[in-house]
Each structure stands twice: as C-alpha cells, then as structure tokens.
Structure 1
Amino acid sequence: MAVPSFFTLMNLLCGFMALTQVADAAFVLACWLIVLAGFFDLLDGVMARLTGADSPFGVQLDSLSDIVSFGVAPSFLLYGYVLDTFNPLGMIVAALPALCGAVRLARYNMTADESDKEGFEGLPIPGQAIAVVALILAAENSAWDGRFALDSLRVVLPVVIVLSGLMVSSIRFDAIPMPSLEAVRTHPSKIAAYGLAGLLIVGLQERGLLIVLTAYLLHGVGRALYKLMRALVAPVPDERLGS
C-alpha cells in the first residue's frame, strides 16, 4: 500500500504546486504541473494493480488528491487565466470543474464495479483537467484567431460547461488499459491507439495533448450518440404478438 500511496501523494503535491503557480501568474508551469499530477495518478493505479495493494484507504486518498489536482487546481487556473475579469459570472463558471468533479468522484466511489476495468461512467476528472490544460497551453503557444481566443467568455463558457457536464453524465468513456501481454492480445487496436497517442503527446507536446484529448472526448460522445440513434430507430415490439 505504501508504494501506490507515495505516487498518490505526489499527485496531490503537484496539484498544490499548481495552485501556487497560478497565484504567481505562472500559468504554463501550472498547466504542466497538472499534467505531471496526471502522470502520478496513472502510476499509482498501475502500481496498485502490480502489487495487489488495492484498498479502501487507497481509494479515498486517491479521490482526495484528485479533487485538488484535477478539480480545484483547474478551476483556479481557469479563474486566474481568464475568468477573473468576468465576475461574478466568471467565479461561478470557474467553480464548475471543482463542483462537478467532486460529484463525479463521490459517484464513482459509491458505484464503481471492481470487475469493470474497461471504462467509466462519465468523463474521468483527470480527463477534464487535462482538456483544460491542453486548451490553455495551445492558446499560449499558438496563433489563435481572435474569435477563438481564450480571453473570450463566449469560448470559455461553453467549453467549461460541456467538460463539467460530461463528468456527471452517464456517457461511458474508455479506461486506459494497463500495459501487458494479455492486454495486447485482447485489445490490440486499443493498445495501438494509446501508443500512438503517447507518441503524439511526446512529439507535438501541447498540440498533441489537445489532439489526443479531443479524439478521446469525441470517441466517447460519438459512441453514446450512435447507441442513442440505434435505440431510437429500433422497431418497437408489438405487444399484441404475445397475446
């Protein structure tokens, strides 16, 4: 239990450090600290499975760390980076990732099925945080058209509302598979896709991060819409046939 908990606490430490950097207006450094927190969050899950150290204590510690690193820190980052100029609405909008993230984590802790390792109900809170970070990093390092600049409330408001809503939605999103020979045999295409995603992030950095997160979100939402459309067009059984 000690090894996974160490990485969980490193996740929390990175979240705290991100908050201090936002307070100092070092927004890019704060973004990369949140990304580093996501790396430690991934490592604690991997180590827990490898060592068989899953425990209720670890689950609760992980959730407490996640709400700081992926809930409060992105909310404070959004507020400091752009939304503080739109008060009081900006303060309320900035709080949404933290509020919906807390609901997402509480629901997960109450309803998570240990046998379901394939995906999650609702966007995982680290995914929401990394999406926010990817947008800010891209805005800092790219020549955005004025209509899509992140200093515009008409851009930030729908982005924050959509990401926060996805966390508390019932849409299923894939879990990152644990690297193993069994996973390669069972899900070769999924492993290849995540491998390509890793190469994009390493090679393109903030642009790669934005591309990967956009594809991940579109895959989950698109699959949910496809299932909804199939359900809507499916023929309704005629109850008279059973009488």
Structure 2
Amino acid sequence: MKRPPVFNQPIFRPGRVRRPRRPHPRLKGLSINHLLPNVLTVLALCSGLTAIRFAIQERWEPAVIAIVIAAILDALDGRIARLLNGQSKFGAELDSLSDAISFGVAPAFMMYLWGLNGAGSLGWIAAMAYAVCCALRLARFNSRLGVVDLPPWAYNYFTGVPAPAGAGLVLLPMTLGFEAGPDWIGHPVVIVPWTLMIGGLMVSTLPTFSFKGARVPAQWVVPALAGVGLIAAMMVSQPWWTLSIIGLAYLATLPFSILQFRKLQRAAELMKGEIVEPVPAEDAPAEAGTTPGETAKPL
C-alpha cells in the first residue's frame, strides 16, 4: 500500500525522534530589598530636577526645599540598602548619577540664575567650575568603591566635602538672603569666590567628618533626641535661619576634623614605632650571673 505524500515529509520519516522544545528561560526579577533603595534614589533625582524647574520660574524657596528633600532621600537610600542587604553596583552608579544632578548641576544652575549671572562670564565660570568639581568628587568616590586601603582609625572620615554638604554650603548665601536680603549677600563679589571655594573643598583631600560611625553616649541619648525635636520646631518656624545655622555649624567643624584626623594619625604612627621586633636567640642577652658564652646551670 502506497503511503500518502504527506507522510513523506521529514518529520514523519521512520526512525526520526522529535526533540522536545526547550522551555524559555525565566527572567530573574528584583526583590523589594534591592528595588526600594533605587526607588529612593530616583525620587532624589526627581527632586533635584524639580529644583531646576523652580529656579527657572525664580521660585527660590521651593527650589532650596527640593534640594533639601533630595539630600534627605540620598541619606536614606544608602542606609536602607545596608539594612536590607540590597547593595548593588547598579545602585551605586545610579546614586552617583543622581548626586551629580541634584547636588552638582541643580545648585550651580540655581546660583547662576540667582546672582552669578550678574558677574557675566566670570559667574558662569564659577557655576561651571562648581558642577565640574562635584562630578570629579563623585568620580573619585566611585573609583574607591570596594577598595579597602584606609587604616581602621580613618573609617569616620570623608576625603573632601561630600556632595550633599557641598550643595548646602554653596546655597548658603541664598538661604541667608531670604532673611537678611540679597543686596549684599547676593552680590557677585561675594558669591563668585564663595562658589569657587566650595567647589575646591569638594575636590580637596581634606579629611571631613562623615558622622556615619558616630555613637551617642548613653547619658546623651535623651538630650540628643530633645535637640532633634528642637531643630524640627525651628525648621517649621524659622526654616531659613535654621538651615543657615546648620550650614555654618558644619563649616565650623572642618578645622576640628582636620585636627582630630592628624591627632589620630600621629597616635597611629607612635604605636607603630613602639612595636619591638623579637630578638634572635643568638643575639639575646645572657642571663644574670653568666657570661655570653655560657648558659645558666639548673639549680
């Protein structure tokens, strides 16, 4: 009996074994632990971009508030990532890109529109120099990720002023101008060198307190919490004076951080110098009552 032509196709040939189809690989998703810090970083980026929008509209107070919110979110995302064990290289890179915009580009843009444009090309150079210094500071920080070559006593120090603190310091004339008036504090003669100085502090090698490993003694826990409540009340009633005082207080800690770092460095060097290497047996001093060539006799 002749087989129909359809059975002469290759798939119906005798002895041919059909291979089962391979299942499609399932895409591995991200857990909430890894996603939540990145969400906070994106929100910080959005807050920095919103500050630029407010600056274009010359709404300076909401612009400063947007930068403050970005700084708070930036402080939270890293700590939440460590608490949830959600650190990743993607999150670290995203955080640096967000910081470059929120604490580098946005404050420079705000300062230029607020007062630096009165200095012409020099004001633009100052704004651009600050933004470039912020990017360089973040690039230097990223290049040191995963590199552990610092001594144990230097864990509580940054190299240079961090990006969020630099943004707060460069906006300090603006926050003071909200209360004292922008006539003198916003003059280009004042804010041009100020912007250049803050940019230089960000790329400097000066040791600055990081406050990440700071511990509050037990007897100071209640006063510290009361101080936090006082600062919150001041932020509600006098926000611009409070932000200005916080910025000036941080600036005043820089000399103390340098002195403390050098003190710890000298103490570490002295400890290294006090380490005595073991003396070989043939060079060891002879026991009391014996000559160098003799050994003590047992009693």
Q: Does 1:82 align with 2:120?
A: no
TM-score, normalisation: structure 1: 0.81
SS at match of 1:25: coil
Q: Please state if 1:15 is matched with 2:53.
A: no
Percent identity between matched residues is 31
Contact 1:177 1:191 in 2 (8 A): no
Q: 1:194 to 1:166 in 2, by over 3 A?
A: farther
Offset at residue 211 of structure 1 (A): 1.3
> RMSD between aligned alpha carbons?
3.1
One-letter code aligned to 1:127:
A
Correspondence for 2:61: 28
Are the counterparts in 1 of residues 41 and 98 from structure 2 also a CA contact under 8 Å?
A: yes
**Partner Cα distance (2:103, 2:172) in 1:** 13
Change in Cα spacing, 1:209 to 1:202, as seen in structure 2 (3 Å) is farther
| 1:159 maps to 2:194 | yes
1:229-240 residue pairs with structure 2 within 5 A?
none
Matched, 1:176 2:211: yes
Residue number among 253, 258, 278 corresponding to 1:224 in the alignment: 258
Aligned-pair CA distance for 1:185? 5.0
Q: Which amino acid aligns with 1:200?
A: I
Give matches, 1:109-120, under 5 Å: 109-112=142-145, 113=147, 117-120=155-158
Matched, 1:94 2:121: no
What runs of 5+ residues in structure 1 fail to find an aligned partner? 232-243
Deviation at 1:224, TM superposition (A): 1.9
SS at match of 1:173: strand
Q: Which deviates more from structure 2 when the two are superposed, residues 168-177 or residues 70-79?
A: 168-177
Question: Residue deviations 1:86-116, cap 9 Å, x none?
Answer: 2111111111221000000000111245686
Runs (4 or more) in structure 1 with deviation over 6 Å come to 188-195, 226-231
Higher relative contact order (CA 8 A, sep 6+): 1
1:211 maps to which residue? Answer: 245
Q: Which of these two proteins has the greater Rg computed from alpha carbons?
A: 2
Does the Cα contact within 8 Å between 1:149 and 1:155 map onto a contact in 2? yes
How many angstroms apart in 2 are the aligned matches of 1:217 and 1:208? 14
* 2:5 alignment partner in structure 1: none
Whole-angstrom distance in 1 between the partners of 2:260 and 2:222: 23
Inter-CA distance 194–176: structure 2 relative to 1 (3 Å threshold) = farther
Match of 2:85 in 1: 52
* Residues in 2 aligned to 1:57 and 1:117: alpha-carbon distance in whole angstroms: 24
Aligned length: 225
User: What TM-score do the two structures reach when normalised by structure 2?
Assistant: 0.66
User: Is 1:200 matched up with 2:231?
Assistant: yes
